[in-house]
Every structure is written in C-alpha cells, then in structure tokens.
C-alpha cells in the first residue's frame, strides 16, 4: 500500500489544555492508526520555559510570580500528555511561531525596543535567546519528539517579514540570512538531542515562499519541511502548492485542514474527502512521506472536528494516510459507523457519537456532505476566489475585494485569475448565476433531504434540520453580499447614474436580509460560533459602507 510514514493530528485551539478532550483524541488516533500528536500554539515554548538564563527564580518571584507558577503547572501537564501518547506509540510535537517572547524580556533587554516603539528583528540577542529557549525546553520536556516552527509568518511577535524597525542593520539585512540564523539557533540544540526540527513554509506571497526552505538547506538537509497542501492557506479552490516536491533532499510533510476554516467553519456538513485524496496522491508522488491534519482553529473556541460532521474529513485523512488508494465509499462507511457529532453542541460537551441505524444511511450522508461542498464553493467563493473572511460575510466593499485580490490573491499561483472577478458586465452575470445556483441547491437540499430515514434519535434529527435551515440562511446572505459588492464596485468604476440606482436596489434587499437574519438568529440560543459565522453587524456595516460610497458618487 502507498501510505505516509508520519500521520499527524494537530490541535490548534485551547482544548489542547483539557486532558479529557486530549484523551478522546488519543483514543481516536489509536483507532485510526495515527502516530503523531501536534499541539499548535504560537507561544507554546514560552508557556514551558523561562528561560532561566534571563529569568532567575528571584526575579520571577519578585516580578512575575503568576507566570512562574503557570510554567511549572504547564510542564507537568505537557509531560503527562506526552507520557500517555507514547504509551500508545504516538510522538508529540510542539508547533509554534517564532520569534516569540514573554513581555518581561523587553524590560530586561531594553535595547531591543527602538525609540519609535518598534522591536528590532535583527538584534543578535534573538539568536542567543532562541537557542536558550529550545535548550531549556529539551531539559524540562525531554520526551518531546521535536518542534514545528513557522519563521516566515506575520503572526509572530518578531519577524523579518513584518519588521517595522528602521535601524541601519534592519534596512540592510538579507531575509534569507535572518531565517538561517533563526533556524540554526533552534536546530543546534535539537540535533544534539536527536530531535526533529520541522520548518513550515508559511508565507503570503510567492516571492517569499521559498526563503525559509533555502535557509533550512543552508543549515541541514535533515530538517523537515512542512508545506500546506495549497499555497498561502487551506483554500480548497486553489491549485496544489507548487513548492511540494521542490525541497531537495529534505523530508516533506504536507498539511491539511480537515475542520473547515475556509469551508463552513466546521458548522456546516462539508466533505473535502475527494479533494484530499487527489491532493494526497500528488503529494506522495512528489516525495512527501508525512501528513498533518489540523482539527480546529485557534480563533474559535469550543469547535473542532470532534463536534462536527467534518469529522469525515479527519477520518478520511487518517485512512488515506495509510493507503491513498482506499475506496472513498469505505471512508464514508467508516465515518457513519464511527458515529455523528453535532456542531450545535460545543466541543467540551464531549458528545457520544450517534450511529445511524437506517439502511444505507452512509450513502445519504455521503451525498449530503458532497453536495454541501459544491454549495459552499459556489456560495462563499467567487469563481474560486476567497470572497469571505474566514467564512464570515464581508463587512465593507473594499474588504471583499482586498480578500480576493490582495490578502488571498491567486495571481501568484494562477496567472490572470484576478481578471475573473473584475466588475465587468460579463463577469457580473457569471458571478450572479453562480450565487443563484448555490442558493437554489441549498434550498433543494433542505427540502429534499430525508432526515427521518437515517435512523437517528429525534433530537439529533431535529438538529440536522436546524443546521440545514441555517445553511440556507447563510448562503442567502452571501448572495446578497456578492450582489451589493459587485454592483457598488461597478458603480464606482463607471460613475453611471443608472448603475448607482441598480446598486442602491441591492441595498434594499440587503437590509431586508439583515432583518430576517436578526429575527432567525434570536429564535433560539445557538453556540457562540454561529453568531460569529453569521454576524449581523457585518451585514449592517456592509450596508452602511455601500450607502456611503453611492452617496459620494452621486455628489460628484
């Protein structure tokens, strides 16, 4: 069988600090044949080390006693998790974004902060500090298998990619040299202990994408390279990450999101199993021998694969990781037999999976979640472009176009893609048909799906109906947002009075939808992430922004 040597499950949210949840995850991993557990928290190392070379016991007692106690507690907790994982043959990795530091470091080393308030990213102190952090981690958490780090992310406290320091050294520093220094300072203590260093090639632009890989090669080809399956982030509409298979002799791990940060936030029943199988075959053929599956997202608490229909994607990933040629129907059977979990109950409830008893329930569920992906693709993307903001409605006209054309732009990897979303007559007609088709499909799905035939308890069947009602409401919202954004954008470009009037008509419909959404969401008390996902305030903001833009055009 063609399979991957490393089959990792990643917890990215705060449930990593809840042992009962972690034990459930470990039981799942054992059942599915997974062999690596990843805790992903930006400052995870700083939650486990001082380092004592800078923060003595005396100064901790004097200045930061709470942090001192938390570090001690966190060490016992993480070592307990590692022990339980290792008992069932599972390695533990810490995933972080560096450079990170405790706030006290700027007090102890004040020259790091410049007069303008910026923190110097190229100060030599950082390399000494990073090596001290990693060395202390290996002393206090000796059975850790390794560290996964994102050096090119703009999410760390100190980064060359988001450096605002204007000192002469920073102005002239080669970014690749910066990555090399950081990687070297981490690799040196890890390699001495026989531990693994994994570099995540997480960058926002194609011209930045391979700098960290080149720096890692300068350090050692033993360093593993982790690549997202698609460039920039986990967008199922994007092409394969072109860096896959181009990292020389470095071991490769490929990352997948199975929860749904960009396809329904784990709330709607969406399958990407077909897409995963195709991409995993490509990754295996390009020499990758490890895969990682992210099961949640740090921004949203109380939501993960373990209270979602998207558990099917995690089960599918685990099965395909062992045999990428496995039949897809076998995955849907395995998921159905494992049991369903409702996103209307928070993760911390630790639901018992509900197994349908209906004849061929797996086929009906399979068809449901396959069609749901097609609806999501047409509904919240615009011709494959990321129109949404982590599945939320756009809150301003510019936000929608910034998402598509700048922050999540495709042109670096799909040349000329931006032309597909220019506000031309031809494009707008195609885009609106796309949205109308998504809305028609979700309405048909809600009307035709035979929940009763699944053989589920009445309460669970009722929850599925509720989810489908909210799904229709959600897709309707994106229909209105898309019409408003593109019609206003067209009015901006033409400054034609008739186009302004047409755009204003869309605001009437958007306002009506806002009232409907407000009423529907307050008919019941849903988990908080439903209100985040379908935020009425974002609709109000878009409406106000569009109205202000149209008034400004009329005043010219």
Question: Are 3 and 322 contacting, i.e. CB atoms less than 8 angstroms apart?
Answer: yes
| 420 has a pLDDT exceeding 70 | yes
Q: Is the omega angle on the peptide bond into residue 498 within 30 degrees of 0, that is, cis? A: no
Whether 517 and 371 share a structural domain: yes
pLDDT score of 203: 62
Q: How far apart are CA 541 and CA 547, in angstroms?
A: 10
pLDDT score of 18: 98
Chain position carrying tokens 């986990």: 234
Chain position carrying tokens 């209270």: 307
Question: Are 233 and 209 contacting, i.e. CB atoms less than 8 angstroms apart?
Answer: no
| 371 has a pLDDT exceeding 90 | yes
Question: Are 161 and 198 contacting, i.e. CB atoms less than 8 angstroms apart?
Answer: no
Q: Which helix (H) or strand (E) holds 389?
A: none
Asked which of 43-52, 108-117, 155-164, 287-296 is least confident by mean pLDDT, the reply is: 155-164
| 181 has a pLDDT exceeding 70 | yes
Whether 425 and 540 share a structural domain: yes
pLDDT score of 109: 96
| 175 has a pLDDT exceeding 90 | yes
Burial bucket for residue 345 (CB in 10 Å: 0-12, 13-18, 19+): middle
pLDDT score of 1: 83
Each residue's pLDDT tens digit, 471-502: 999 999 999 999 999 999 999 999 999 999 99
Whether 396 and 530 share a structural domain: yes
Higher pLDDT, 151 or 143: 143
Q: How far apart are CA 273 and CA 280, in angstroms?
A: 10
Q: Helix, strand, coil proportions of the chain in percent (round to 5)?
A: 55, 10, 35
Q: How far apart are CA 497 and CA 414, in angstroms?
A: 35
Of the residues 222, 254, 280, the one at which a domain ends: 222
| Cα-Cα end-to-end distance for the chain | 68
Gyration radius of the chain's alpha carbons: 25
DSSP H helices in 230-383: 273-285, 311-322, 328-338, 361-380
Q: How far apart are CA 397 and CA 413, in angstroms?
A: 25
Nearest alpha-carbon partner for 30 in 91, 89, 93, 92: 89
Whether 337 and 400 share a structural domain: no
Is residue 41 included in any domain, yes or no?
A: no
Question: Are 462 and 524 contacting, i.e. CB atoms less than 8 angstroms apart?
Answer: no
Whether 475 and 546 share a structural domain: yes
Average pLDDT value for residue range 20-33: 98
Q: How far apart are CA 213 and CA 222, in angstroms?
A: 12
Is residue 361 included in any domain, yes or no?
A: no
pLDDT score of 153: 82
| 36 has a pLDDT exceeding 80 | yes
Whether 27 and 83 share a structural domain: no
| 10 has a pLDDT exceeding 70 | yes
Question: Are 251 and 221 contacting, i.e. CB atoms less than 8 angstroms apart?
Answer: no
Nearest alpha-carbon partner for 408 in 379, 381, 377, 376: 381
Is residue 169 included in any domain, yes or no?
A: yes
How far CA 16 is from CA of 30, 217, 378, in Å, comes to 17, 32, 34
Contacts (Cβ under 8 Å, ≥6 apart) of 536: 514, 517, 518, 521
Each residue's pLDDT tens digit, 186-222: 999 999 999 999 999 876 666 666 788 999 999 999 9
Burial bucket for residue 386 (CB in 10 Å: 0-12, 13-18, 19+): buried
Q: How far apart are CA 241 and CA 198, in angstroms?
A: 18
Q: Hey, what are 430's tokens?
A: 């195609």
Is residue 15 included in any domain, yes or no?
A: yes
Strand partners, 39: 11, 94
Average pLDDT value for residue range 526-538: 97
Whether 102 and 185 share a structural domain: yes
Strand partners, 382: 385
Nearest alpha-carbon partner for 470 in 317, 324, 297, 265: 265
Of the residues 178, 196, 222, the one at which a domain ends: 222
Nearest alpha-carbon partner for 489 in 414, 542, 555: 542
Q: How far apart are CA 341 and CA 307, in angstroms?
A: 5
CA 124-129-131 angle, to 5 degrees, is 105
**Number of domain units in the chain:** 3
Average pLDDT taken over every residue of the chain: 96
| DSSP per residue, 219-237 | H-TTSEEEEESSSSS--TT
Average pLDDT value for residue range 141-151: 97
Whether 532 and 387 share a structural domain: yes
Is residue 212 included in any domain, yes or no?
A: yes
Whether 111 and 206 share a structural domain: yes
* Torsions phi, psi for 525 (to 5 deg): -105, 105
Whether 550 and 401 share a structural domain: yes
Q: What percent of the chain has a predicted confidence (pLDDT) above 90?
A: 92
Q: Is the omega angle on the peptide bond into residue 99 within 30 degrees of 0, that is, cis? A: yes
pLDDT score of 556: 74
How far CA 389 is from CA of 143, 459, 479, in Å, comes to 39, 32, 15
Burial 309-337 (b: 16+ CB within 10 A, else e): bbbbbbbbbbbbbeebebebeebbbbbbe
Whether 11 and 106 share a structural domain: no
Is residue 392 included in any domain, yes or no?
A: yes
Q: Which helix (H) or strand (E) holds 252?
A: strand 252-257
Strand partners, 199: 149, 225
Average pLDDT value for residue range 158-176: 94
Which CATH number characterizes residue 207's domain?
3.20.20.80
Angular region, 99: left φ>0, alpha ψ -120 to 50, beta rest: beta
Boundaries of domain holding 371: 366-554
Is residue 229 included in any domain, yes or no?
A: no
**Parallel, antiparallel, or unpaired for β 385-386 and 381-382?**
antiparallel
pTM of the model: 0.96
pLDDT score of 305: 98
Strand partners, 294: 10, 257
Q: Hey, what are 101's tokens?
A: 């530091």
Of the residues 345, 374, 395, the one at which a domain ends: 345
pLDDT score of 378: 98
DSSP H helices in 109-203: 125-140, 168-172, 175-192
Whether 394 and 309 share a structural domain: no
Is residue 292 included in any domain, yes or no?
A: yes
Average pLDDT value for residue range 52-69: 94
């Amino acid at each position: 069988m063609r399979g991957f040597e490393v089959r990792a499950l990643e917890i990215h949210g705060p449930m990593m600090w809840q042992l009962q949840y972690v034990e459930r995850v470990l039981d799942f991993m054992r059942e599915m044949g997974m062999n690596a557990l990843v805790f992903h928290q930006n400052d995870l190392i700083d939650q486990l080390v001082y380092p004592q070379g800078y923060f003595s016991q005396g100064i901790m007692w004097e200045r930061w006693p709470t942090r001192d106690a938390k570090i001690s507690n966190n060490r016992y907790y993480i070592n307990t998790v590692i022990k339980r994982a290792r008992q069932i043959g599972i390695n533990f990795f810490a995933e972080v974004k560096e450079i990170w530091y405790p706030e006290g470091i700027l007090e102890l080393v004040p020259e790091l902060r410049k007069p303008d308030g910026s923190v110097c990213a190229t100060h030599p102190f950082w390399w000494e500090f990073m090596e001290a952090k990693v060395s202390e981690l290996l002393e206090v958490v000796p059975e850790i298998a390794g560290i996964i780090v994102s050096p090119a992310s703009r999410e760390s406290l100190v980064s060359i990619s988001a450096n605002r320091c204007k000192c002469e050294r920073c102005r002239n520093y080669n970014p690749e040299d910066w990555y090399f220094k950081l990687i070297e300072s981490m690799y040196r203590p890890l390699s001495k202990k026989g531990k693994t260093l994994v570099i995540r090639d997480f960058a926002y632009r194609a011209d930045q994408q391979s700098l960290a890989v080149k720096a890692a090669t300068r350090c050692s080809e033993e360093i593993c390279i982790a690549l997202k399956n698609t460039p920039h982030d986990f967008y199922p509409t994007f092409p394969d990450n072109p860096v896959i298979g181009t990292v020389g002799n470095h071991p490769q791990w490929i990352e997948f999101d199975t929860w749904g940060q960009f396809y329904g936030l784990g709330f709607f029943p969406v399958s990407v199993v077909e897409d995963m199988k195709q991409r995993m075959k490509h990754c295996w053929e390009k020499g990758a021998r490890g895969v990682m599956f992210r099961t949640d997202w740090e921004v949203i608490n109380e939501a993960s694969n373990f209270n979602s229909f998207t558990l099917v994607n995690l089960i599918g990933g685990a099965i395909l990781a062992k045999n990428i040629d496995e039949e897809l129907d076998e995955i849907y059977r395995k998921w159905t037999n494992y049991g369903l979990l409702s996103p209307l109950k928070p993760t911390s409830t630790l639901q018992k999976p509900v197994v349908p008893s209906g004849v061929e329930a797996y086929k009906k569920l399979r068809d449901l979640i396959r069609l749901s992906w097609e609806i999501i693709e047409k509904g919240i993307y615009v011709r494959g472009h990321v129109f949404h903001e982590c599945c939320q409605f756009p809150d301003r006209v510019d936000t929608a176009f910034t998402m598509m054309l700048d922050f999540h732009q495709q042109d670096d990897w799909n040349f000329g893609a931006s032309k597909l979303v220019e506000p031309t007559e031809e494009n707008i007609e195609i885009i609106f048909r796309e949205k109308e088709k998504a809305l028609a499909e979700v309405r048909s799905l809600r009307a035709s799906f035979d929940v009763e035939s699944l053989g589920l308890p009445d309460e669970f069947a009722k929850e599925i109906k509720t989810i489908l009602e909210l799904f229709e409401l959600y897709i309707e919202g994106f229909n209105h947002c898309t019409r408003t954004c593109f019609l206003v954008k067209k009015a901006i470009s033409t400054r034609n009075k008739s186009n302004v009037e047409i755009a204003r008509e869309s605001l009437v419909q958007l306002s009506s939808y806002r009232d409907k959404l407000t009423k529907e969401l307050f008919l019941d008390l849903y988990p908080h992430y439903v209100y985040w996902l379908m935020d009425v305030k974002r609709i109000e903001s878009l409406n106000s922004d569009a109205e202000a833009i149209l008034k400004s055009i009329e005043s010219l």
